[in-house]
């Protein structure tokens, strides 16, 4: 059985403990590889390597860092098929989606920051004839990057790329549920010529490896994507150490459909925004709010299209809904469906675990599920389920739609369907979300700031925001 290694100082090495954890293929429910059960000793080795590599990497001309990162992006594209297969087996998502979304975007992330490395500029301010001030941005040092399981290589690269581009060295930890693509990625780093110690990947459990990264005194900046509960835990450790923190956390995103929207587009994109990646995308719209006058028509068409989604083997090209990431997550999602029924919800379609005959018989599959009849205050509409489960509710007016949309403690993303230009601007301004998509979903321009408000996180990633996060700004004032 394949044993995944840590990648420290350019070497693939076993964890100091010598212990390994099972890595399960969620589509078959079987262990298919082993992952290092690392601890603070492995993190210490990684920090030592990252510190040793820092001076050279941060001192390179930006075009040299660009050249290595650009090669790395090309290698991801070259190996897209193998990486997509690995991502699908690790996470349960359809292989087709792994290729078009995760692996495509992993290459795009690295390429974007490879070029940004050459274009990042700083500011200068002339104070009349008296002084010149300029801002010197220097890499913060060793960056800690911790990523989740839902978009494994996509989010792993999204974190490490800006850090590497500005000249930080990195200690990174992918999720213990999806370690494989980050491991394969380290092979590409070597091939691309990334110097030893610049990227170090320590695999293992959150409370052991993740916490050791957060607590390490020589890691001054932590970029984290994951659940809100974990984000708060990280804050309670890193806050008193005055570390820089970027937290991308959970969501419970509204998807608002006005009667004047392009109906066909609103329905078909809402199917994607509800169920892509089994609903395991932080940006999925899990609360659909529909204007009363088109409510019945919308629900009927939405349910019809939901029933057409093929739940099945992630390796089958026809599959739209693959396996949930783990047995624990399957139980959690099914538990929320039970809760919705207890809270008075009506299941219009779905609601059950699915058994796929053949090699996926023991996999963790759930039908895409549509629920109506719940208010916004119930737990089903307040808590992040992170599965193929959506609720639909009618609204009477623009004010009511805004009130319902803002009725949770989260604030990650919102989607708005309307052909009314001024309404699009007006409602967008009133939604408490970090990203608002109008007549589209998941469209991303990597230059734009990305992140949530309220319980969905603090800080912004993307574009210059992420690069600035990994730097210290120093003002130099020269009196003339
Ligand atoms: P999680 O919080 O359980 O784990 C995320 C990462 O943190 C993993 O690598 C985990 O091992 C690690 N971790 C766990 N405990 C830790 C600790 N004490 N210290 C340091 N690291 C620790 O989240 P998950 O279940 O892997 O991912 C799903 C969550 O991520 C959902 O809530 C989803 O909304 C969120 N998410 C948010 C975004 C975003 O951009 N806002 C994107 C993707 C996922």
Q: What is the pLDDT of residue 478?
A: 97
pLDDT attached to residue 57: 98
How many angstroms separate the alpha carbon of residue 260 from the centre of ligand 1? 38
Mean pLDDT across 451-470:
94
- Is 282 close to ligand 1, i.e. is its CB under 6 Å away? yes
Which protein residue has the closest C-alpha to ligand 1 atom 20?
210
User: Which residue owns the Cα nearest ligand 1 atom 23?
Assistant: 226
For ligand 1, whether the C-beta of 172 sits within 6 Å is: no
Which one of 226, 241, 410 would you pick to mutate in the ligand 1 pocket, going by the greatest count of ligand atoms within 8 A of its CB?
A: 226
Q: First vs last Cα of the chain: how many Å apart?
A: 68
Q: Work out whether strand 221-225 and strand 142-146 pair parallel, antiparallel, or are unpaired.
A: parallel
Query: What's the pLDDT band for 143 if we cut at 50, 70, 90?
Result: very high
254-438: what fold? Aldehyde Dehydrogenase; Chain A, domain 2 (3.40.309)
Between helices 292-307 and 263-275, what is the axis angle to 10°?
50
Catalytic pick among 145, 168, 176, 248: 248
Q: What are the Cα distances from residue 63, in Å, to 119, 130, 414?
A: 10, 35, 38
Asked if residues 143 and 114 have their Cβ atoms less than 8 Å apart, the reply is: no
Ligand 1 centroid to 37 CA: how many Å?
A: 18
**Among 35, 105, 148, 235, which is best to mutate for testing ligand 1, by the most ligand atoms less than 8 A from CB?**
148
The tens digit of pLDDT for each residue in 433-455 reads 999 999 999 999 999 999 999 99
- Residues 356-365 pLDDT 10s: 999 999 999 9
Asked whether 249 lines ligand 1 (CB < 6 A), one says: yes
Q: In ligand 1, which atom is closest to the CA atom of 211?
A: 19
CA–CA distance, 99 with 238 (Å, rounded to integer): 35
Any ligand 1 atom below 6 A from CB of 250: yes
> What pLDDT digit, counting tens, does each position of 15-32 carry?
999 999 999 999 999 999
Q: What is the pLDDT of residue 335?
A: 98
How far apart, in whole angstroms, are the C-alpha atoms of residue 52 and residue 180? 26
Among candidate residues 168, 189, 282, 284, the one labeled active-site is 282
284 in active site: no
The share of the chain scoring above pLDDT 90, in percent, equals 99
- Cα–Cα distance between 113 and 170 in angstroms, integer? 15
Ligand 1, atom 19: closest residue by C-alpha: 211
Please choose from 102, 158, 206 the residue to mutate so as to test ligand 1's pocket, defined by most ligand atoms within 8 A of CB. 206
Q: Where in the chain is the domain with CATH 3.40.309.10?
A: 254-438
3-state SS, the chain, equals: CEECCEEECCEEECCCCCCEEEEEECCCCEEEEEEECCCHHHHHHHHHHHHHHHHHHHHCCHHHHHHHHHHHHHHHHHCHHHHHHHHHHHHCCCHHHHHHHHHHHHHHHHHHHHHHHHHCCCCEEEECCCEEEEEEEEECCEEEEECCCCCHHHHHHHHHHHHHHHCCEEEEECCCCCCHHHHHHHHHHHHHCCCCCCEEECCCCHHHHHHHHHHCCCCCEEEEECCHHHHHHHHHHHCCCCCEEEEECCCCEEEEECCCCCHHHHHHHHHHHHHHHHHCCCCCEEEEEEEHHHHHHHHHHHHHHHHCCCECCCCCCCCCECCCCCHHHHHHHHHHHHHHHHCCCEEEECCCEECCCCCCCCCCEECCEEEECCCCCCHHHHCCCCCCEEEEEEECCHHHHHHHHCCCCCCCEEEEECCCHHHHHHHHHHCCCCEEEECCCCCCCCCCCECCCHHHEECCECHHHHHHHCEEEEEEEEEC
Check if the beta carbon of residue 456 is closer than 8 Å to that of residue 411: yes
What distance in Å separates the CA atoms of residue 134 and residue 37, rounded to the nearest whole number? Answer: 46
282 in active site: yes
| Beta carbons within 10 angstroms of residue 126's beta carbon | 11
pTM above 0.95, yes or no: yes
The per-residue pLDDT of the chain, averaged, comes to 97
Q: What pLDDT was estimated at residue 385?
A: 98
Average pLDDT over residues 218-239: 98
301-328 tens-digit pLDDT: 999 999 999 999 999 999 999 999 999 9
Ligand 1 near 149 CB (within 6 A): yes
Residue pair 329/109 in contact by the 8 Å Cβ criterion = no
Within the chain, which residue ranges are assigned CATH 3.40.605.10?
2-249+453-479
Cα 338 to Cα 78: distance, rounded to the nearest angstrom:
45
Domain at 2-249+453-479: CATH code: 3.40.605.10
């Amino acid at each position: 059985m394949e044993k995944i290694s840590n990648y420290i100082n350019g070497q693939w090495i076993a964890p100091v403990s010598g212990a390994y954890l099972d890595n399960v293929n969620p589509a078959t429910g079987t262990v298919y590889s082993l992952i290092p059960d690392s601890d603070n000793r492995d993190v210490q080795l990684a920090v030592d390597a990252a510190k040793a590599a820092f001076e050279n990497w941060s001192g390179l001309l930006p075009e040299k860092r660009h050249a290595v990162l650009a090669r790395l992006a090309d290698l991801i594209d070259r190996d897209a098929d193998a990486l997509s297969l690995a991502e699908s087996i690790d996470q349960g998502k359809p292989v087709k989606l792994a290729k078009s979304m995760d692996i495509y975007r992993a290459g795009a992330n690295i390429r974007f920051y490879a070029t940004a490395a050459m274009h990042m500029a700083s500011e200068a301010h002339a104070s009349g004839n008296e002084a010149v001030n300029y801002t010197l941005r220097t890499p913060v040092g060793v960056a800690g990057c911790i990523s989740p399981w839902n978009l494994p290589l996509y989010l792993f690269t999204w974190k490490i790329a800006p850090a590497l581009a500005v000249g930080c060295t990195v200690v990174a930890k992918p999720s213990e549920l999806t370690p494989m693509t980050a491991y394969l990625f380290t092979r590409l780093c070597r091939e691309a010529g990334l110097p030893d110690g610049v990227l170090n990947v320590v695999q293992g459990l959150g409370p052991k490896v993740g916490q050791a990264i957060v607590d390490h005194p020589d890691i001054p900046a932590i970029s984290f994507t994951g659940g809100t509960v974990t984000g708060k835990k990280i804050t309670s450790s890193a806050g008193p150490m005055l570390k820089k923190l970027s937290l991308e956390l959970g969501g419970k995103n509204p998807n608002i459909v006005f009667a004047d929207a392009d109906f066909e587009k609103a329905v078909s994109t809402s199917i994607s925004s509800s169920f892509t990646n089994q609903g395991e995308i932080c940006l999925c719209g899990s609360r659909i709010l529909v204007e009363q006058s088109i409510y019945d028509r919308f629900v009927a068409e939405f349910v019809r299209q939901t029933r057409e989604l093929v739940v099945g083997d992630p390796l089958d090209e026809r599959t739209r809904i693959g396996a949930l990431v783990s047995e624990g997550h399957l139980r959690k999602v099914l538990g929320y469906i039970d809760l919705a029924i207890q809270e008075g919800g009506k299941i219009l379609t779905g609601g059950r675990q699915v058994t796929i005959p053949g090699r996926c018989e023991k996999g963790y599959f759930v039908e895409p599920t549509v629920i109506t009849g719940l208010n916004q205050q119930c737990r089903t509409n307040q808590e992040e389920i992170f599965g193929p489960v959506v609720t639909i509710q009618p609204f009477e007016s623009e004010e009511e739609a805004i009130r319902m949309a803002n009725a949770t403690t989260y604030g990650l993303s919102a989607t708005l369907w309307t052909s009314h230009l001024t309404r699009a601007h007006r409602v967008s301004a009133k939604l408490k979300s970090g990203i608002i998509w109008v007549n589209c979903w998941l469209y991303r321009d990597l230059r734009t700031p990305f992140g949530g408000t309220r319980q969905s996180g603090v800080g912004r990633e993307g574009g210059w925001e992420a690069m600035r996060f990994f730097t210290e700004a120093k003002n130099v004032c020269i009196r003339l």
